Structure formats: C-alpha cells, structure tokens
Amino acid sequence: MIRSVLAPNPAPFTLDGTRSWLVGETLMIDPGPAIDTHVEALLETQPRVATILVTHRHADHAPAAAFVAARSGARILAPEGVLDDAIVAERLTDGATIECEGFVITAVATPGHTAEHFCFLTDGGDLFTGDTILGEGTTAIFPPDGVMADYMASLRKLRALQPRAIYPGHGPVRSDAVAWIDYYIAHREERERQILEELAEGPLGVAELRARIYPELQAGLRSAAEMQLLAHARHLADRGLVVPNGARLSLVR
C-alpha cells in the first residue's frame, strides 16, 4: 500500500506541492516542509511510522523529518549532509538495502539535482524519485550544486533498474516509468542539440541563448531558464564541444 500526503506548499518549482510518500504502515519518504498541519497529517495517516528516508536536503523535502521523528520515535536515514547528525540514525550509501515490513527498499545514489540526492527502489519495482524525476514537466538543475553530467548519468542508472512505477516528489505517479525516463533523457539531449545549433551561428551569452531557446518566457522565469542553460553549457564544455569566449559561449569547431 502506497499513499501520499500533499504538503500545502504549491509554487512554480513544487507544482501542486511536495508529495510525502507513506509505504505500508511504517515507511515514510520525504516528510517534506516544516509546516505544522502537514506534520499532523503525516502522523495521522501513518501513526506507526518507524523509518524515515530523505531524498535530499532541500527545504521542501527534508525538514519535517525532524518533527515526525521527534513525535513518533522513527529513525531517520538520510544522505550525508542532510539534517543534523544528532537526529540521523544512519547515513545512506549507494546500494544500501533497508528492511521494511514485508518488503526491501534499496537506496540509489542519484546526484545531479543536488550532489547528495538519493532515490529509493522497492523490490516490487516502485521507484521514489524526489526531485530527480517529477511527475510532470522537468526538474531544475542549477549550478554549481546541480551538475548536468551527473544528472544524465543518474537518469540512465535509474532507467537500467527498469522500475515499474515512479513516485515523484512533485506531480502525479507515472505508471509509464521507463518511457517517462526516456522522455527525460530525450528532453535534455534535445536541449543540447538546440544550444549547439544556436552557437553554430556564432558566440552567444547565456541570456542571448535563453532569448532564442525560450522566446516566450515570462520575466520571472528567465533567470531559472538561464541557470538550466548554464548547466547544459558546462556539460558541453566538459566534453570539449563548447568553450567560454569572454562572457559568451563558442562552439568548438
């Protein structure tokens, strides 16, 4: 039995809010933001919570873990650097397995959205993806913490696990898990192609690239789009395809 409790924190980057996942009677994934009513809802829905897993440190995923643990006595397992050492029972490592009531769940290191991000896969093929894969749209990769090369490797790593369904930190459940990961990979590859195509006409700054690739974007979303493009540019530069040229980017010919 997998249930979710939606936190009341809707915003452009959280879609309709953070989804905290309750698996069986005792496992909770990403308790979410420190909002009193949300913590109450979590404890009410899963009063026997015994284990809390956290995907990454962001304020819309991790902080409520401390409150749920304090009230329930549940143990917290979190990536290195997430939450206070004093309240974390165990730090996650790639491939670590966690025994729960009636199933086993494996921690999968998936750096990219943030360096410490983990996803979690049950032995039944249910994959909990935090902010690595959302239920709709795409996720934010903001340098320097967000690294596109790592992110692409993490998407391919998740695809190789052949999950049955994806339970994201935001947005709806995806029963088309592998096809959805393929879309995520294709979307990023398409963006790279677009960047290379624009730069083929001559050097461009990131803001100029943004204006060409996202011509309709409203002012409030422009800096986020530029961060994504910068993440792509770094990934292209790592592979020797693009080189910084003053404040602009040039194609390596």
Q: Distance between CA atoms of 65 and 100, rounded to whole angstroms?
A: 18
Cβ-based nearer residue to Zn ion, 77 or 213: 77
Closest CA to 101 of 76, 123, 125: 123
Q: How far is the CB of 198 from Zn ion (least distance, A)?
A: 28
177-199 vs 148-160: helix crossing angle, rounded to 10: 150
Is 250:199 a contact under the CB 8 Å cutoff?
yes
Q: Is 234 in the site for Zn ion (CB under 5 A)?
A: no
Closest CA to 30 of 12, 4, 8, 2: 4
Q: How far is the CB of 170 from Zn ion (least distance, A)?
A: 9
According to CB under 5 A, which residues from 53 to 112 bind Zn ion?
Answer: 58
Is 40:13 a contact under the CB 8 Å cutoff?
no
According to CB under 5 A, which residues from 25 to 64 bind Zn ion?
Answer: 58
Q: How far is the CB of 58 from Zn ion (least distance, A)?
A: 3
Cβ-based nearer residue to Zn ion, 131 or 150: 131
Cβ-based nearer residue to Zn ion, 11 or 104: 11
Cβ-based nearer residue to Zn ion, 150 or 198: 150
Please provide residue 103's backbone torsions phi and psi, each rounded to the nearest 5 degrees.
Answer: -160, 170
Cβ-based nearer residue to Zn ion, 58 or 235: 58
Q: How far is the CB of 142 from Zn ion (least distance, A)?
A: 9
Q: Distance between CA atoms of 95 and 6, rounded to whole angstroms?
A: 28
According to CB under 5 A, which residues from 114 to 143 bind Zn ion?
Answer: 131
Interacting residues toward Zn ion by CB under 5 A? 58, 131
